[in-house]
């Protein structure tokens, strides 16, 4: 499963940087108040503006707290406090501190706070060529389904700042989604040429080779694993690379290794939605329903309106014989998107195979399967399930030598069961 993920990174320090432009009017810092390195060099923002000692001290303190929260875990209270600390750093600079405004937004975004956007916009007003703020806003467009607009903003970010690694990497994500693999690979290489240990670019490169491998080139799958190993050597605690590695192992048929990689990913980062989903799917395929339940519950907590996560949780609960809870999850998915067929199929299976077996329950199953078939239509991803529901066999088995045995579909089995129970009274 592929999702766009935000690739914003923390600004580790302030130096003379590329970019800059005509943003808001900045206050001039008196020479005596300019923050300096141990060697006496003036510390500046990305657009070259000198940073005051007061602003730099507040920035350093805010950044230390941010990094501690990254390790210990975020809460809404921590996100708000961290954002306010960066706002104080910006205020100490007279407002002309794009990096601090950006970090104030990033702190809020760690908790999914929509107020982050306002801070990114302020950062761009201060410095219209500030790469990370433009990339962050473009990602808002991307997640809102505005891929073309986001792509243009990523392109502008790297035009304004040719050192914008997150711009190259996110542009590559869009290009990969649009089938422009060669251009995507070039941009990922550009990102790594600028920042050789930029792990997000390594992860996207591994996914690109994985996609190519699934199209029939086994060598690309091996190359994807090589990229994963390179990333692991740079940072053995980078969770997304283990999730990608797990996907590669699943495709290669090494499901045990895949499970190990997915588990490593969620151990390192319990909030990595994709890894929770992948771990859940693999575990329930081995009837590890309790582990699957925990993974899908975490996935639903991370994304309460994610249809696939809710269906996965329902299936894990069904495997644990917690049928009313499974039913509640399927019905939740059904209400979330009544047009999708998966919930109807799963409700049909639940009522046919796991409920009382009464005529009433079987008739409910039959109605759910009817709805499923109607909503699935001719879509290829549901073809096997539609056949499982609709397949009909003759009353007398074929006596032809070598003729395959006919397997009645769910609808026919339900009709046979109902008829038998009605005959028996």
Question: Has residue 359 been placed in a domain?
Answer: yes
Question: Has residue 259 been placed in a domain?
Answer: no
pLDDT value of residue 73: 87
Lowest mean pLDDT: which of 220-224, 330-334, 400-404, 412-416? 400-404
Residue 260 to residues 238, 242, 245, 298, 362, Cα–Cα distance (Å): 15, 9, 10, 18, 40
pLDDT value of residue 2: 34
CB neighbour class for 37 (10 Å; exposed up to 12, middle 13-18, buried from 19) = exposed
pLDDT value of residue 26: 53
Question: Has residue 357 been placed in a domain?
Answer: yes
Question: Has residue 41 been placed in a domain?
Answer: yes
pLDDT value of residue 270: 94
> Contacts from 50-56 at CB under 8 Å and sequence distance 24+?
51/14, 51/93, 51/97, 52/92, 52/93, 54/92, 55/89, 55/90, 55/92, 55/93, 55/97, 55/100, 56/14
Domain boundary among 94, 129, 164: 129
Under a CB-based contact definition with an 8 Å cutoff, are residues 45 and 153 in contact? no
> Is residue 52 classed as helix, strand or coil in its secondary structure?
strand
Number of structural domains (the chain) is 2
Question: Has residue 69 been placed in a domain?
Answer: yes
> Is residue 141 classed as helix, strand or coil in its secondary structure?
helix
List, in order, residues 6 or more apart from 219 with CB less than 8 Å away. 213
Q: CB atoms < 10 A from the CB of 307, how many?
A: 16
pLDDT value of residue 6: 40
Reported confidence tier of residue 37, pLDDT bands at 50, 70, 90 = confident
Q: Is the pLDDT of residue 4 over 50?
A: no
Q: Is the pLDDT of residue 234 over 80?
A: yes
Handedness of CA 343, 294, 248, 70 (dihedral sign): positive
Nearest to 176 by CA among 151, 208, 145: 208
Token duo for residue 398:
């074929």
Please provide residue 50's backbone torsions phi and psi, each rounded to the nearest 5 degrees. -65, 140
Question: Has residue 255 been placed in a domain?
Answer: no
Q: At what angle do helices 131-143 and 147-160 cross, to 10 degrees?
A: 170
Domain boundary among 85, 113, 129: 129
Nearest to 231 by CA among 189, 202, 211, 210: 202
Domain boundary among 129, 150, 171: 129
Transcribe 285-335 into DSSP letters. Answer: HTT-HHHHHHHHHHHHHH-TT-HHHHHHHHHHHHHTT-HHHHHHHHHHHHH
Question: Has residue 420 been placed in a domain?
Answer: yes
Domain that holds residue 364: 338-396+405-425
CA distance 89 to 71: 22
Provide the CA 45 distance to its chain's centre, in angstroms.
32
Question: Has residue 115 been placed in a domain?
Answer: yes
| Maximum mean pLDDT: which of 84-88, 113-117, 399-403 | 84-88
pLDDT tens-place string over residues 83-105 = 999 999 999 998 889 999 999 99
Mean of per-residue pLDDT scores for the chain: 90
């Amino acid at each position: 499963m592929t999702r766009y993920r935000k690739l914003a990174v923390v600004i580790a320090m302030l130096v003379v940087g590329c970019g800059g432009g005509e943003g808001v009017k900045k206050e001039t810092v008196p020479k005596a108040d300019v923050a300096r390195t141990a060697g006496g060099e003036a510390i500046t923002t990305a657009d070259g503006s000198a940073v005051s000692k007061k602003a730099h001290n507040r920035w350093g303190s805010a950044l230390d707290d941010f990094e501690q929260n990254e390790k210990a875990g975020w809460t809404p209270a921590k996100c708000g406090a961290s954002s306010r600390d960066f706002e104080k750093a910006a205020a100490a600079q007279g407002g002309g501190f794009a990096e601090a405004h950006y970090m104030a937004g990033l702190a809020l975004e760690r908790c999914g706070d929509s107020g982050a956007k306002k801070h990114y916009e302020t950062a761009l007003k201060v410095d219209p060529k500030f790469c990370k703020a433009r990339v962050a806003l473009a990602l808002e467009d991307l997640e809102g389904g505005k891929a073309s607009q986001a792509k243009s903003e990523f392109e502008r970010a790297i035009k304004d700042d040719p050192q914008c690694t997150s711009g190259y990497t996110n542009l590559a994500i869009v290009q990969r989604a649009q089938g422009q693999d060669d251009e995507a690979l070039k941009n990922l290489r550009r990102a790594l040429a600028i920042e050789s240990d930029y792990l997000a670019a390594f992860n996207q490169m591994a996914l690109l080779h994985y996609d190519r491998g699934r199209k029939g080139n086994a060598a690309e799958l091996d190359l994807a694993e090589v990229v994963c190993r390179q990333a692991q050597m740079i940072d053995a605690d980078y969770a997304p690379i283990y999730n990608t590695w797990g996907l590669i192992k699943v495709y290669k048929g090494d499901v045990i290794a895949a499970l190990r990689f997915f588990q490593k990913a969620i151990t390192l980062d319990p909030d990595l939605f994709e890894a929770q989903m992948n771990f859940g799917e693999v575990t329930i395929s081995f009837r590890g329903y309790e582990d699957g339940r925990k993974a899908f519950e975490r996935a639903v907590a991370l994304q309460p309106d994610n249809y696939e996560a809710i269906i996965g949780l329902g299936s894990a609960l069904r495997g644990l014989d917690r049928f009313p809870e499974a039913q509640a999850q399927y019905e939740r998915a059904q209400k979330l998107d009544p047009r999708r067929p998966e919930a109807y199929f799963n409700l049909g299976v639940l009522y046919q195979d796991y409920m009382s077996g009464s005529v009433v329950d079987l008739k409910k199953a039959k109605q759910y399967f009817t709805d499923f078939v109607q909503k699935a239509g001719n879509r290829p991803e549901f073809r096997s399930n539609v056949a499982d529901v609709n397949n009909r066999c003759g009353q007398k088995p074929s006596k032809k030598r070598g003729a395959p045995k006919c397997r009645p579909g769910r609808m026919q089995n339900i009709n046979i069961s109902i008829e038998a129970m009605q005959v028996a009274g």
